[in-house]
Chain A
Amino acid sequence: MSRDNAGSSRFWYRRSVTAVGAPTRAFGFLTRSVIIATLGLLLMSKANPSAVEPLREAVVAPFRSVLTVTAGTMSSAIGLIATTTGRLFARDARDRRHVSPSENGGMTAHIADLQREIADLKRENSGLRALVPLAGNRAYNLKSVFVIGGSATGASSRVLIAAGRDDGIRPGYPVVMGNRLLGRVHHVHAATAVVVRLADRLSRVPVMVGAGETRALLVGNGAGGATLELIGQGPAPRAGDPVVTSGIGGVFPRGLMIGRVFAPEDGASTNAATRVSIDSEAAYEPVAGVMMIDGAVFDQVDLPGRQSEIGKPSPRLAEAGARTGSAMLSLRSIAAGVARP
């Protein structure tokens, strides 16, 4: 390639024109400016999230009702596609042997509709049954909230909900789906809030494994799952052991189901930073609506008394705590996932 060609190739956009025929040099400058601006926004959101978070609220709040409707429509459309696809694969030639094709088609569609309705009712019933113990407990104040958006294409696994500061939502509130813990509220705006799910790299949840003798910290792995970082003493976790919230730290109520141990690491023991995979439906299932637990009650949990239950934190956590300026990292900070300098 000649030098001229290389030059023209490098600055190809200088030949471009705008829709109104403006000078190309200015347009190339504009292109670079836009890219630099988006890069700056990205760096700013990492360095100082509170400075750019109002932008999220400013964009989303006026369209909250529209987003709620479209989110519901999207969920219905996806459900319809899944049902239709399943119906196509479920059709069996034997079913059409003694009936006419049109009659068979109508019956198959009717059966599929009934099956879908039964599945929806079972799911709804299951969710309501799961909430009975929560609703019966006067310590919990539940709020139903719609999910209007979310993304999980990398280290973050979050959803945006259609309730915020004006609705009484505060940072750190636990979010559940049925009787399973989904995550916690991270950012709160006037009309919306960002929920960090269990799979997010910012997620930290104090948990109990098995019969409750093994204490651990559930850490999101950023890839649709979570791992256990064992702390304190107790038997090594085995595949199938239930994992529930321990209530330590006062952010999450005790006894909320999270999932089960999926793949214990070879030679897993209760040493610090031992990693164990968790099979948690709440970590990767799509959600259309969630329940919020008012966290005011958990603020009354006595932290110093609880600390003795788990012994010393792992060196990694202690180091993180030291970086926050305290001798020992506050368990509340760990649970709230704010162990950042």
Chain B
Amino acid sequence: MIATISNLGRIAALFGASLIAAQVWPAGGVAAAAAGLLPVVLIGLAARPTLTLHHLVVTCAAGLVVDCVSGGPLGQWALVYALAAALAPRLAGSGSVSRKACGLAGLVAMAAAVNAVIVVAFSIGHLGSMTSELHVVARDAGLAAWDAIRLAGLGAATILFTLTLITITGGVLAAIFATSVRLLRALVKGPVKDPVIGRSDGGAPTWR
């Protein structure tokens, strides 16, 4: 039951993030790049050592939603999210927390890079249909590549910085809460004594 609710929550979060990506910043820029990568973060956070069928299907559906609502080329974000879902178990699905964090950063960077490649490929294709002057295509493709890489990098950096900030803040708040609980308990029940292992009458080890 809890697992079902958890899965439904992940699905809702993924679709919510997809809608944010397509609706919040239609004007573009770093914020739009960060919003586009937000579902990738959720995919990475929900990753497990084994890739499940519903995870892959829901991820692709979320990407398709972004493509349909964004007005851009169909398949752009669906491909990025599908690749992220396929690589998420490998990168961020297992290991320690630090390893998962590194995997998540790598996953976001990979998604940003794939999106940049798609953008540049489309740009070259469009310019190639407008002119056959190679230097014009090369110059504009270079500008498009620089813009795409810059936006993708800044978007990834923004989202990872935000995640780090949330993690640190959460850690600090958790530490403060734990310390407060210990202090409160000490005030109510007195100092906690170290357990001493003793022996029962029968000779078995006991706590006292």
Instruction: Please state if B69 and A284 are interface contacts (CB–CB under 8 Å).
Output: no
Instruction: Please state if A155 and B144 are interface contacts (CB–CB under 8 Å).
Output: yes
Residue of B nearest to A149 (CB): B69
Instruction: Please state if B76 and A341 are interface contacts (CB–CB under 8 Å).
Output: no
A287 partner, pick from B27, B56, B78, B136, beta carbons under 8 A? B27
Binary CB contact string for chain B from 14 to 38 against chain A (1 if under 8 A, 0 otherwise): 0000011111111111001100100
Number of B positions contacting A (CB below 8 A)? 64
B68 partner, pick from A60, A157, A323, beta carbons under 8 A? A60
Q: Taking the nearest CB of chain A, how far is it from the CB of B76, in angstroms?
A: 6
Chain B residues contacting A157 (CB-CB under 8 Å) are 27-28
B74 partner, pick from A30, A45, A155, beta carbons under 8 A? A45
Cα–Cα distance between A157 and B32 once the two chains are bound (Å): 11
Binary CB contact string for chain B from 127 to 142 against chain A (1 if under 8 A, 0 otherwise): 1011111001000000
Cα–Cα distance between A194 and B36 once the two chains are bound (Å): 19
Residue of B nearest to A161 (CB): B71
Given A46-B122, A224-B29, A339-B130, CB of A31 within 8 Å of CB of B75: no
Selected interface stretch from B79-87, B181-189, B199-207: B79-87
Cα–Cα distance between A283 and B56 once the two chains are bound (Å): 36
Instruction: Please state if A42 and B75 are interface contacts (CB–CB under 8 Å).
Output: yes
Q: Taking the nearest CB of chain B, how far is it from the CB of A341, in angstroms?
A: 6
Instruction: Please state if A19 and B52 are interface contacts (CB–CB under 8 Å).
Output: yes
Instruction: Please state if A42 and B23 are interface contacts (CB–CB under 8 Å).
Output: no
Cα–Cα distance between A286 and B83 once the two chains are bound (Å): 29
Instruction: Please state if A59 and B90 are interface contacts (CB–CB under 8 Å).
Output: no
Instruction: Please state if A156 and B26 are interface contacts (CB–CB under 8 Å).
Output: no
Cα–Cα distance between A273 and B74 once the two chains are bound (Å): 31
Tell me, yes or no, whether B198 is within 8 Å of chain A by CB: no
Cα–Cα distance between A284 and B27 once the two chains are bound (Å): 5
Chain B residues contacting A31 (CB-CB under 8 Å) are 51, 56, 86
Residue of A nearest to B59 (CB): A34
Residue of B nearest to A57 (CB): B68
Instruction: Please state if B50 and A67 are interface contacts (CB–CB under 8 Å).
Output: no
Instruction: Please state if A60 and B147 are interface contacts (CB–CB under 8 Å).
Output: no
Tell me, yes or no, whether A29 is within 8 Å of chain B by CB: no
Chain B residues contacting A155 (CB-CB under 8 Å) are 119, 122-123, 126, 144, 148
Instruction: Please state if A38 and B26 are interface contacts (CB–CB under 8 Å).
Output: no
Chain B residues contacting A71 (CB-CB under 8 Å) are 23
Chain B residues contacting A39 (CB-CB under 8 Å) are 75, 79
Q: Taking the nearest CB of chain B, how far is it from the CB of A82, in angstroms?
A: 12
Tell me, yes or no, whether B89 is within 8 Å of chain A by CB: yes
Instruction: Please state if A320 and B69 are interface contacts (CB–CB under 8 Å).
Output: no
Instruction: Please state if A52 and B23 are interface contacts (CB–CB under 8 Å).
Output: no
Chain B residues contacting A15 (CB-CB under 8 Å) are 50
Q: Taking the nearest CB of chain A, how far is it from the CB of B58, in angstroms?
A: 12
Cα–Cα distance between A172 and B104 once the two chains are bound (Å): 43
Cα–Cα distance between A27 and B50 once the two chains are bound (Å): 11
Q: Taking the nearest CB of chain B, how far is it from the CB of A172, in angstroms?
A: 16
Within 8 A of B (CB), among A107-146: none
Chain B residues contacting A211 (CB-CB under 8 Å) are none
Binary CB contact string for chain A from 177 to 191 against chain B (1 if under 8 A, 0 otherwise): 000000000000000
Instruction: Please state if A38 and B90 are interface contacts (CB–CB under 8 Å).
Output: no
Instruction: Please state if B23 and A19 are interface contacts (CB–CB under 8 Å).
Output: no
Residue of A nearest to B126 (CB): A201
Given A55-B74, A60-B68, A222-B147, CB of A153 within 8 Å of CB of B51: no
Tell me, yes or no, whether A97 is within 8 Å of chain B by CB: no
Q: Taking the nearest CB of chain B, how far is it from the CB of A70, in angstroms?
A: 6
Q: Could you name 21 residue pairs across A and B whose Cβ atoms are closer than 8 Å? A: A16-B51, A18-B52, A20-B53, A30-B53, A31-B56, A42-B78, A78-B24, A148-B23, A150-B23, A150-B70, A151-B26, A153-B28, A153-B33, A154-B115, A154-B116, A155-B122, A223-B143, A224-B27, A284-B28, A316-B130, A319-B132
A residues adjacent to B (C-beta < 8 A): 12-13, 15-20, 22, 27, 30-31, 34-35, 38-46, 49, 52-53, 55-56, 59-60, 67, 70-71, 74, 78, 147-160, 194-195, 199, 201-202, 221-224, 273, 283-287, 316, 319-320, 323, 339-341
B residues adjacent to A (C-beta < 8 A): 19-29, 32-33, 36, 50-54, 56-57, 60, 63-76, 78-79, 82-83, 86, 89-90, 115-116, 118-119, 122-123, 125-127, 129-133, 136, 143-144, 147-148, 151, 155
- Kindly list the 7 A-B residue pairs having the minimum CB-CB distance in the complex, ordered from nearest: A150-B26, A152-B28, A151-B70, A154-B119, A42-B75, A41-B75, A149-B69
**19 new A-B pairs (CB below 8 Å) besides A273-B136, A340-B129?**
A16-B89, A27-B51, A38-B79, A39-B79, A52-B75, A67-B23, A149-B70, A150-B23, A151-B26, A153-B28, A153-B33, A153-B155, A155-B126, A155-B148, A157-B28, A158-B72, A223-B151, A286-B26, A316-B136
